[in-house]
Amino acid sequence: MTAAKSTAGAKRVVVFDYGFGNVRSAERAVARAGARVEITRDYDAAMNADGLLVPGVGAFAACMRGLTEARGHWVVERRLAGGRPVLGICVGMQILFARGIEHGVETEGLDEWPGTVGPLQADVVPHMGWNTVRAPADSRLFAGLSGDARFYFVHSYAVRGWELPDDAGTGAIAPPKVTWSTHGEPFVAAVENGPLWATQFHPEKSGDAGAQLLTNWIETL
């Protein structure tokens, strides 16, 4: 196992604990990538951290309810308004979109990006296991990773179309960078959009490739 890096002078990351995410796995992975990590739902701590990580596991509607009850929607919105970095993982990425539809029930998301999270159309669902992605050549999130790098996915729902114009975004100077993967059909695997980055896969469960990706994010904080 890779030893944790020294945290002297390291960036401070808050893993937002709203009851729906693998917070301990995320904490360990971010610490190994060189950051000082705190698991909390404290508003001030989350607002003042160098980076905020929003995990998510389970149903879209339940995650949105938990995030709202913990005031996480305010934290994400206000951090992004100030250009402060946020990283969403798995359902923590999905809730950044406008809406999710599960079992015919539509739930409003955070609407940082337009788009709908819906069921994957594939012979085998959930999509569980390792898969490659197609990242833009100038991606900072995937810097230093080869095109055959594999990441760990566990999901039955995804965003299957990117609806934001290339010249728009969440406080972004550069156009959004969208990474794709395929399981039965193409779906959005990651997004880099100004201070807001997100992955459908679990970098904390993706071995060396996931560790490199988290290091890339931390280095931008």
3-class DSSP string for the chain: CCCCCCCCCCCEEEEECCCCCCHHHHHHHHHHCCCEEEEECCHHHHHHCCEEEECCCCCHHHHHHHHHHCCHHHHHHHHHHCCCCEEEECHHHHCCEEEEEECCEEEECCCCEEEEEEECCCCCCCEEEEEECECCCCCCCCCCCCCCCEEEEEECEEECCCCCCCCCCCCCCCCCEEEEEEECEEEEEEEEECCEEEECCEHHHCHHHHHHHHHHHHHCC
* 2 band by pLDDT with thresholds 50, 70 and 90: very low
Q: How many domains does the chain have?
A: 1
- Residue 197 inside a domain? The answer is yes
For 65-116, the pLDDT digits (tens) are: 999 999 999 999 999 999 999 999 999 999 999 999 998 999 999 999 999 9
pLDDT for the residue 136: 97
- Residue 39 inside a domain? The answer is yes
More confident call, 175 vs 92:
92
Of 14-23, 36-45, 96-105, 160-169, which gets the smallest average pLDDT?
A: 160-169
* 167 band by pLDDT with thresholds 50, 70 and 90: low
More confident call, 22 vs 48:
48
- Residue 146 inside a domain? The answer is yes
- Residue 82 inside a domain? The answer is yes
Q: Which of 127, 155, 183, 202 is catalytic?
A: 202
pLDDT for the residue 8: 60
- Residue 2 inside a domain? The answer is no
Q: Which of 27, 112, 192, 204 is catalytic?
A: 204
**What's the pTM?**
0.93
Q: What is the average per-residue pLDDT within 41-61?
A: 97
Q: Which of 63, 90, 112, 183 is catalytic?
A: 90
pLDDT for the residue 9: 82
Annotation says 90 is catalytic = yes
pLDDT above 90: residue 217: yes
- Cβ count near 35 (within 10 Å): 28
- Residue 3 inside a domain? The answer is no
Across the chain, mean pLDDT equals 94
Q: What is the average per-residue pLDDT within 130-155?
A: 97
Q: What is the average per-residue pLDDT within 108-133?
A: 97
Annotation says 63 is catalytic = no
pLDDT for the residue 175: 86
- Residue 6 inside a domain? The answer is no
Which domain does 195 fall in, by range? 12-219
pLDDT above 70: residue 1: no
What CATH number does the domain containing 185 carry? 3.40.50.880
pLDDT above 50: residue 119: yes
Q: What is the average per-residue pLDDT within 175-200?
A: 97
pLDDT for the residue 129: 98
- Residue 57 inside a domain? The answer is yes
Closest CA to 171 of 75, 47, 83: 83
* Residue 64 in tokens: 């949105």
